[in-house]
Amino acid sequence: MTDRLTILLLTKNEAGNIGPLIAGIKRELQSAQPVFLVMDASSDSTAQEAEQAGATVISDPSPYGVALTRGLREADSEWVMVLDADGSHRPQDALKLWQARDEADLVVGSRFVAGGGSEVRGFRLWLSRRLAWLFSTLASLPARDVSSGFRLYRRALFADASPQARFFNVQPELLAHAALKGARVKEVGIYYAPRGQGKSKARVLRFGLAFLRSLWAIRRRLKARSST
Ligand SMILES: Nc1nc2c(ncn2[C@@H]2O[C@H](COP(=O)(O)OP(=O)(O)O)[C@@H](O)[C@H]2O)c(=O)[nH]1
Ligand SMILES: [Mg+2]
């Protein structure tokens, strides 16, 4: 079967990173024969590089969260794997997520469980840990690394997700969607490397506030569910 797995990549100026990433995943996931879908918001040659590597490219200038939700709808395979296209997420970990899918509806690649780690230290790691702590204290989500963008989704349970989140705060919102649907969630350790070419698009203040807004909305939704 060739349409079992779609690799969904969100890109904003990842020329130099996207080609080697697709080649690496093809190698590691050879037996799954994945198809590649790229939601591209770039002004560089990312789209051409992705097409040359064999991906279908949809040009969409939307922010990350909006593009991710659209990608989950556009893919039509049983499973959709999403990972960053900047070299931070490694093809060998993609195989780990794929192999963990039995009896799961969502597999989350996590820096904060056994076998996981991060080469990126300092403020960004501190912030991810604080977010993980805040969400686990104030909203009981089914994974610890709430902001991780490395995931394998059983599409049938997520194609109808319509999170309000526009940025990276879409990650905890999709975990809340999983919780509300009773989806089975597994976390597996992944190693987070520094990005390859180019610059991060994260904006700490803007995205931090968006995460806090999501936290409150998620708390309300999960509480309303548990009191019914
Ligand atoms: N389609 C799309 N992709 C984006 C956007 N912002 C970031 N990305 C991609 O999302 C992934 C993670 O973004 P990145 O800048 O590395 O964020 P960081 O890892 O938090 O620093 C990368 O593959 C980016 O190219 C966006 O607005 N639209
Ligand atoms: Mg990155």
Q: What does the alpha-carbon distance between residue 159 and residue 170 come to, in Å, rounded to a whole number? A: 14
Question: Cα–Cα distances in Å, from 45 out to 8, 40, 87, 202, 212?
Answer: 18, 10, 17, 21, 34
Q: Give residue 203's pLDDT.
A: 87
Total domains, the chain: 1
Atom of ligand 1 nearest to the CA of 207: 20
Domain span at 172: 5-226
Residue 173 pLDDT greater than 80, yes or no: yes
Tokens encoding 34? 């994945």
The DSSP letter of residue 59 is E
Which of the ligands is closest to the CA of residue 124? Answer: 1
Instruction: Count other Cβ atoms within 10 Å, centred on residue 198.
Output: 18
Reported pTM: 0.96
* pLDDT bracket for residue 3 (50, 70, 90): low
Q: Give residue 39's pLDDT.
A: 98
Residue 33 pLDDT greater than 90, yes or no: yes
Residue 2 pLDDT greater than 70, yes or no: no
Q: Give residue 1's pLDDT.
A: 45
Q: What does the alpha-carbon distance between residue 139 and residue 136 come to, in Å, rounded to a whole number? A: 6
Instruction: Count other Cβ atoms within 10 Å, centred on residue 91.
Output: 18
Average pLDDT over residues 139-168: 94
Which of the ligands is closest to the CA of residue 37? Answer: 1
Average pLDDT over residues 220-226: 87
| Concatenated DSSP letters of 121-133 | -THHHHHHHHHHH
Domain of residue 54, CATH code: 3.90.550.10
Atom of ligand 1 nearest to the CA of 67: 1
Average pLDDT over residues 113-140: 91
C-alpha of residue 86 to centroid of ligand 2, in Å: 6
Report the mean per-residue pLDDT for the chain.
94
Beta strands in the chain (DSSP E): 5-11, 35-40, 56-59, 79-84, 106-110, 117-118, 151-154, 185-189, 191-192
Average pLDDT over residues 1-24: 92
